[in-house]
Amino acid sequence: MTINCNGKLIDLSTPKVMGILNLTPDSFFDGGKYTSDLDILNQVEKMLGDGATFIDIGAYSSRPNAVHISEDEELKRLLPNIEIILKKFPKTLISADTFRSNVATESVNLGACMVNDISGGTLDENMFKAIGKLQVPYILMHLKGTPQNMQKNPTYDNVVRDVLNYFSEKVALLRKEKANDIILDVGFGFAKTLEHNYTLLKNLEHFSILELPILTGISRKSMLYKQLNTVANNALNATTVANTIALQKGTNILRVHDVKEAMEAIKVVGKIQ
C-alpha cells in the first residue's frame, strides 16, 4: 500500500488526509473563498500544518449543474496557483483535480505529483494514455454522465456491483497503458441518489477485493446535510461520522475540507484497529 509521489514513497497502510483547495467561484461549499495569492497560501499552510499529506487543487467545479468552462480557463486558474504554492512550499504533494489529459500533463510538468479524475477517463479518451506516460498516481473515480447531467435520475441494477464492474474494466485499461499506483474513489454524490450513496458507504469494504487503495471524498456533501435537513456549513460533525465509518471500512485517503478533524478521526480509529 505505497504510492510514488515525485520519488517519495507514501505508505497508505496508515490512512492519509488530502486537503481540498477549490480555485473555482462556484464549488458547492467553498467556491470563491480563495481568490488571492495570500488566501491560497494561507489555506495551504493551514492544511499542511493540520496534517495533510496531499493538497488536491481543482479549477473546474464538478458540483451538480455546474457551469462548464473551457480548457484554457481551467489552465489559467490552475497552473499559476500550482506554481505559487510550490514556490512557497516546495515539498507539497499536489494532486491536480482534472478530467482533461492536457491539464493533467501541464500540471504534472509544473510539479503536481498526482491526478484526480472525477470522470475515470470517460470525459477525455486520452487520459489513460497520458497517465501511462506521466507515471504518476491516478485517482480513478466512478461517474456516469457529466457534472451537468449526472443527477438526472441515476439508476443502477446493483450500485455496489455496478461500480465494482466499472472499476475492474477501467483498471484493466489503465494497466494496458502501463499506469501504476491506481487509487479508487466510488464517487459519493456523483450520479448517485441518497440511497446509492449510503449503500456504497455501508459496503465500502467490498472494494478492497481489487487490492488497490481507496480514497473517500464525502466531506460536507449533500448526502450528509440533506439527511440532517441542514446545509454544508453545518455538516462538519456529520462529515467526521462518515469519515470514521469509511476508515473502519478500509479507506486509505480521506479527501476533506477540514484537515484537523479528519486527522483526529484517523488517530482515534487507528487506536482501535
pLDDT tens digits, one per residue of 62-89: 776 667 889 999 999 999 999 999 999 9
Choice among 91, 221, 267, 271 that is catalytic: 221
Which sequence spans correspond to the domains of the chain? 2-272
Q: Which pLDDT score, from 0 to 100, does residue 32 have? A: 52
**255 classed as catalytic:** yes
Establish whether 220 is a catalytic residue. no
Query: Which residues does the chain have with pLDDT short of 50?
Result: 27-29, 31
Looking at residue 67, its pLDDT comes to 76
At 62 the pLDDT is: 74
Q: Are strands 182-185 and 2-5 parallel, antiparallel or unpaired?
A: unpaired
What pLDDT does 191 receive?
92
Active-site residue (options: 63, 129, 192, 255): 255
Provide the CATH number for the domain formed by 2-272 in this structure: 3.20.20.20
